[in-house]
Amino acid sequence: MNVTHLSESRAHSAPAAGDAARDAIIEVEGIHKIYGGSVTALENINLDFHRGALTSLLGPSGCGKTTLLKILAGLLQPTSGEVRVNGTPVTGPGPERAFVFQDFALMPWATVLRNAAYGLELRGVSLREREERARHYIDEVGLSGFEDKYPHELSGGMRQRVGLARALAVDADVLLMDEPFSAVDEQTRRKFQEDLIRLREIEKKTFLLVTHSIEEAVYLSDRIVLLSPRPGRVAQIVTPEIDRSGDPDAIRRTPEYLDLIDEIWAGLRTYVE
């Protein structure tokens, strides 16, 4: 376990030694976001996100974690500062980034297959090819057999799997996930988290996950960025060193997992009280 405490002046200093070898796919430099001229949502965010890693943005509500994710996605413009993806500044959404929405954002009038293929449809991929690719990812997220169902015929967890399949199908480098499991019931969430670990081994993509669940962040992440609220700042960066190769359920019993949850809670509780 490796915990880096960051004072404001050191916010851009190199993260933990073990990460130094990895290259940054997303670089965030001096991001400020001010709403309506007075409410500061984000203040001086400097971060690197590593290629192939799963990084969580963790913090209590109001810390601007979703705002930061939407700025990275190009859906929101920062008040000042710059985001670079693969070295190119972000001005809007781009094909190298795919987004998974908290409320799934599926088209209710379209089948699972068409929803999963929608990103490809927008890119003008031919019907046959996009359905073939969509089918592949529908299968990968565990929804095969449901291709012709409509979203309202699926449970919340299954709907989010469609959202995940849609994001995977466009073959982006980075998957930006905005509290993807928060609208899903607890049992489904656990299964979903286990599936995500397995999916990461197959897909080798960079994942960014916004969450307010400490357990979820520790369970899934290679790196956790803790944000403090009002204004949103980087409070701490934590690098869990948990072996995720074995039984996914066993992770929840390892001492590293349990200790880290306690430690992060100890750090966060000051903001909640």
Binding site for other proteins (CB under 8 A): 73-75, 92-95, 97-99, 101-103, 105, 107-109, 118-119, 122-123, 150-152, 166, 170
* Shortest distance (Å) from residue 4 CB to other proteins: 31
The total of other beta-carbon atoms located within 10 Å of residue 145's CB is 10
Q: Which of 199, 69, 90 is nearest to 136 (CA)?
A: 199
**Complete edge-to-edge strand list for the sheet that includes strand 2-5:** 2-5, 233-239, 223-228, 54-58, 206-211, 174-178, 97-100
Q: What does the angle CA 62 – CA 27 – CA 163 come to, to the nearest 5 degrees? A: 60
* Shortest distance (Å) from residue 108 CB to other proteins: 3
Comparing CB distances to other proteins, the nearer of 24 and 120 is 120
* Shortest distance (Å) from residue 188 CB to other proteins: 17
Q: Is the dihedral of CA 219, 221, 226, 230 positive or negative?
A: negative
Comparing CB distances to other proteins, the nearer of 119 and 229 is 119
d(CA 106, CA 157): 13
CB 221 within 8 A of CB 56: yes
CB 230 within 8 A of CB 272: no
* Shortest distance (Å) from residue 102 CB to other proteins: 8
Comparing CB distances to other proteins, the nearer of 3 and 75 is 75
Do the strands 223-228 and 233-239 form a parallel or antiparallel pair, or are they unpaired? antiparallel
* Shortest distance (Å) from residue 73 CB to other proteins: 6
Comparing CB distances to other proteins, the nearer of 32 and 149 is 149
As a whole number of Å, the CA-based R_g of the chain is 18
* Shortest distance (Å) from residue 166 CB to other proteins: 8
Comparing CB distances to other proteins, the nearer of 30 and 157 is 157
Q: Torsion over CA of 177, 180, 182 and 183, rounded to 10 degrees? A: 140
Comparing CB distances to other proteins, the nearer of 94 and 248 is 94
